Amino acid sequence: MNKAILFLLVVTLNAGYLSNCNAQNKPISQRVDSLMKLMTLEEKIGQLNQYNDDWLATGPVTLDANKKEQIQNGQVGSLLNCMGTARTAAWQKIALQSRLHIPLIFGQDVIHGFKTTFPIPLGESCSWDLDAIELSARTAAVESSASGIHWTFAPMVDIARDPRWGRVMEGSGEDPYLGSKIAYARVKGFQGDKIGETNSVIACAKHYAAYGAAIGGRDYNSVDMSDRLLWEVYLPPFKATVDANIGSFMNSFNDINGVPSTANSYLLRDILKDKWGFKGFVVSDWGSVGEMINHGSVKNEYEAAEAAINAGCDMDMESRCYKNNLVQLVKDGKVSMSTIDDAVSRILTKKFELGLFDDPFRFCNREREEKELNNPEHPKIARDAARKSIVLLKNEGNLLPLSKNLKTIAFIGPLVKAVKENKGFWDVEVPGVDSGYIVSQWEGLEKKIGNHAKLLYAKGCNIEGTDRSGFAEAINIASQADAVILSIGERRDMSGEARSRSNIGIPGVQEELLKELLATGKPVVVLINAGRPLVFRYTSDNAPAILYTWWLGSEAGDAIADVLFGDYNPSAKLTMSFPLSTGQIPIYYSHFNTGRPAQNDDNRFYTSAYTDLSIYPKYEFGYGLSYTTFKYSDLKLSQNKMKKDENIKVSVTITNTGKYDGEEIVQLYLHDLVGSITRPTEELKDFRKLMLKAGESRTVEFAIDKEKLSFFNKNLQWVAEPGEFDIMIGASSRDIRLKDRFELVD
Ligand code: NOJ
């Protein structure tokens, strides 16, 4: 063919591809294909690079003097930590100067709210309120999408059973069943009706996988785990996000059984993309592609890029390994063009779904940003979420709720007047925008009691350190008061990424301050603010009333005041076991029996117990009190034998036997008595949260089907094996109120 004809042909073909990729009426897959036909290898690889913007960082930074030029050249597909309509629009304009005008996708850690901050996810999970959880994610999506964000790095769905690990604060605790329900709700909340609505963001399930099982609770540490445990406990919440149609996944930093997750083709290709049919894209964690050199699984960045892309990691966050090596790897035949194309098309598909090719600035509407970041409904949603997350751990002599007729209240502690602490670790500072109001605990209480009572304040001590000089003032005001409220705990940045602690006691001299206050003889209510389960034996043994308040976000003060004075009756229940001592860690309810089960603390003789410590946690999974009490009665099973294609209907009556209206979380646990592999003594398989007026009774129904009885057998097949099952209905994993047995027959 002569050159002129070839040239004309190419021009005509390209014009066709261009018009296809711009045609809004064509299916996205066709538009992606057409665009990819126009792209050079370098441009394709550009789509696989994600850079940090220069002004905020959530990891070790690489600064490129020519970042702008790289974006103009189409060498970068995504930015993170770039927020606000002005800033995102400015970078987007630069990206659109590239040859093919491919827009950037902006990702951000919107973990527990954006401008409006919600309770840290672990706290929020204690609400067991899937609607409220979905709503908080929805609200965060509305705010962040209005501020130029397309994609959140949430939800974090890692099961966590070691409270020394600082990132327990980001997840939903220890249980795969509840964790899966919450994961699903959060994805629905973030993604809304569909990806592409301007008030939705793409969600990202992280950290895939088993990051929560880091040895010794040390962040980023290795994981060594059986397939059974992986499939049964750590993978289900990830699978739930795929069921919810999630748009993206993020690798975890850890290696698992010797293979870093970033280059783990078993996880990424065999399970996620093949078995589960995930159609979205996978982003590495920050720098994790390059960090495989430190793991010792690759020699250099060239091998790191090869291993990660071939294993199915589509986008490289911040390591530059893809940018610097993929062209050569393709030329060397180490990475196939189809591997590159698959990764690129997954990313472009999401950009098309977001509508960015039709209007790259559709998330950059200044007026909408202004309106949504000041939406008066959002604080109300945050207050409700915060109240629902507070766990009442102890309430001796019904000290709580406090009477509104108290004359003098002493509000003491290093966290009473703290402001930003209430926001928790992953709060978002939206640059250029007032980074958000926070109702401090002091303000909340002041508002609540108005002029009805005198409110006295003393800091008492710092969170850390040994300074007791403030004790005297605290004791002095406590002596003048009718009741004392003491607010103590961690700093907000003591739990979070890279915040593992070996001693998870209440820091400093805070418990000593409590001791002094108790010695005044005044009733003391303790608020514990933290991002993880802490160990606080002195407080739990001696304080008459304890509320675990986590980090509750923007509306912390109002929510705490609502609970203290009974305008909200606490309903939350723990989603992670609280150890009695760090020596028990890891501790979780859903354990196996041994050949010599530890029966109880009185019988330790040659059993699987500690000689010097109870085997029981201080507060177990599912535990949490209310200002009222609930009676469980009339457990009925529709049948005691069930075939695999049948259901058993289970009903139980719950009665509010106390003086306050209140909500109860009724929990259903199963125990498969004999299995081809041993089964946990208890597994949560269902729950209901119900509101009952004082004196009211209601019958709750559950259905047991084959799915609830199934598990992964030793060949990793999902099976329900015939045999007997105990069914337990409880107010917590230890407080089992009713029990029965049924049989699954062939
Ligand atoms: C590292 C964290 O592990 C991850 O959760 C986060 O999304 C990224 N940094 C980006 O900030």
Ordered by start, the domain boundaries in the chain are: 383-584, 630-745
Identify whether the C-beta of residue 314 lies closer than 8 Å to the C-beta of residue 346: yes
Structure tokens at 363: 């998330």
Ligand 1 atom closest to residue 109's alpha carbon, by position in its atom list: 7
Mutate to test the pocket of ligand 1, among 285, 288, 318, 499 (most ligand atoms within 8 A of CB): 285
Q: How many CB atoms lie within 10 A of CB 316?
A: 32
Q: How far is CA 583 from CA 191, 288, 700, in A?
A: 41, 32, 39
From ligand 1's centre to the CA of 255, what distance in Å? Answer: 16
Query: Measured between alpha carbons, how far is 498 from 337 in angstroms, rounded to an integer?
Result: 37
Q: What is the pLDDT of residue 84?
A: 94
Q: Is the CB of 249 under 6 A from ligand 1?
A: no
Listed residue (652, 661, 679, 625) closest to 737, CA to CA = 652
Query: Which residue reads 């117990």 in tokens?
Result: 609
CA angle 395, 163, 250 (to 5 degrees): 125
Identify whether the C-beta of residue 74 lies closer than 8 Å to the C-beta of residue 98: yes
Q: Is the CB of 206 under 6 A from ligand 1?
A: yes
Query: Measured between alpha carbons, how far is 439 from 417 in angstroms, rounded to an integer?
Result: 10
From ligand 1's centre to the CA of 422, what distance in Å? Answer: 21
Listed residue (256, 246, 267, 254) closest to 312, CA to CA = 267
SS3 content of the chain, % helix, strand, coil (to 5): 35, 20, 45
Q: Is the CB of 109 under 6 A from ligand 1?
A: yes
**Helix (H) or strand (E) run with residue 106 in it:** strand 105-108
Q: What is the pLDDT of residue 22?
A: 83
From ligand 1's centre to the CA of 317, what distance in Å? Answer: 9
One CATH from 2.60.120.700, 2.60.40.10, 3.30.930.10, 2.40.128.20 for 630-745? 2.60.40.10
Q: What is the pLDDT of residue 600?
A: 75
Query: Measured between alpha carbons, how far is 525 from 410 in angstroms, rounded to an integer?
Result: 10
Query: Measured between alpha carbons, how far is 446 from 558 in angstroms, rounded to an integer?
Result: 9
3 state SS of 33: helix
- Residue of minimum CA distance from atom 4 in ligand 1: 285
Ligand 1 atom closest to residue 252's alpha carbon, by position in its atom list: 3
> 383-584 falls under which CATH superfamily?
Glycoside hydrolase family 3 C-terminal domain (3.40.50.1700)
Q: Is the CB of 431 under 6 A from ligand 1?
A: no
- Residue of minimum CA distance from atom 11 in ligand 1: 58
Q: What is the pLDDT of residue 601?
A: 77
Q: Is the CB of 497 under 6 A from ligand 1?
A: yes
CA angle 11, 16, 22 (to 5 degrees): 125
CA quadruple 233, 688, 560, 470: dihedral positive or negative? negative
From ligand 1's centre to the CA of 374, what distance in Å? Answer: 27
Q: Is the CB of 384 under 6 A from ligand 1?
A: no
Q: What is the pLDDT of residue 65?
A: 82
Q: Are strands 630-637 and 648-656 parallel, antiparallel or unpaired?
A: antiparallel
Residues marked as catalytic: 285
From ligand 1's centre to the CA of 286, what distance in Å? Answer: 6
**Exposed (0-12), middle (13-18) or buried (19+): which is 467, by Cβ within 10 Å?**
exposed
DSSP string for 432-479: TS-------HHHHHHHHHTTTSEEEEE--S-SSS---TTHHHHHHHHH
Query: Which residue reads 């040994």 in tokens?
Result: 466
Q: What residues contact residue 595 under an 8 Å CB cut-off, 6+ apart? A: none
Query: Measured between alpha carbons, how far is 717 from 710 in angstroms, rounded to an integer?
Result: 9
Please tell me the pTM assigned to this model: 0.97
Show the 3-state SS of 252-297. CCCEECCEEHHHCHHHHHHHHHHHCCCCCEEECCCCCCCCHHHHCC
Ligand 1 atom closest to residue 81's alpha carbon, by position in its atom list: 11
From ligand 1's centre to the CA of 484, what distance in Å? Answer: 40
Q: What is the pLDDT of residue 23?
A: 84
From ligand 1's centre to the CA of 285, what distance in Å? Answer: 6
Q: Is the CB of 219 under 6 A from ligand 1?
A: no
Ligand 1 atom closest to residue 207's alpha carbon, by position in its atom list: 5
Ligand 1 atom closest to residue 154's alpha carbon, by position in its atom list: 7
Q: Is the CB of 286 under 6 A from ligand 1?
A: yes
From ligand 1's centre to the CA of 58, what distance in Å? Answer: 7
From ligand 1's centre to the CA of 32, what distance in Å? Answer: 28
Query: Measured between alpha carbons, how far is 448 from 235 in angstroms, rounded to an integer?
Result: 44
Ligand 1 atom closest to residue 253's alpha carbon, by position in its atom list: 3
- Residue of minimum CA distance from atom 3 in ligand 1: 285
Strands of the 204-208 sheet, one edge to the other: 204-208, 248-251, 281-283
Q: How far is CA 548 from CA 332, 401, 585, in A?
A: 58, 15, 20
Q: Is the CB of 58 under 6 A from ligand 1?
A: yes
Listed residue (271, 226, 370) closest to 678, CA to CA = 226
Structure tokens at 683: 């597994």
Mutate to test the pocket of ligand 1, among 58, 156, 221 (most ligand atoms within 8 A of CB): 58
Ligand 1 atom closest to residue 170's alpha carbon, by position in its atom list: 5
Below-50 pLDDT ranges, the chain: none
Q: Is the CB of 158 under 6 A from ligand 1?
A: no
Q: Is the CB of 59 under 6 A from ligand 1?
A: yes
Query: Measured between alpha carbons, how far is 213 from 217 in angstroms, rounded to an integer?
Result: 7
Q: Is the CB of 291 under 6 A from ligand 1?
A: no
CA quadruple 625, 627, 633, 635: dihedral positive or negative? negative
- Residues 150-190 have pLDDT tens digits of 999 999 999 999 999 999 999 999 999 999 999 999 999 99
Q: How many CB atoms lie within 10 A of CB 413?
A: 29
Structure tokens at 148: 């130029």
Q: Is the CB of 51 under 6 A from ligand 1?
A: no
Q: What residues contact residue 175 under an 8 Å CB cut-off, 6+ apart? A: 159, 575, 588, 589, 590, 621, 684
From ligand 1's centre to the CA of 110, what distance in Å? Answer: 11
Q: Is the CB of 245 under 6 A from ligand 1?
A: no
Q: Is the CB of 91 under 6 A from ligand 1?
A: no
Listed residue (663, 664, 665, 670) closest to 637, CA to CA = 670
Q: What is the pLDDT of residue 11?
A: 62
521: phi then psi, degrees, rounded to nearest 5:
85, 0
Q: What is the pLDDT of residue 321?
A: 98
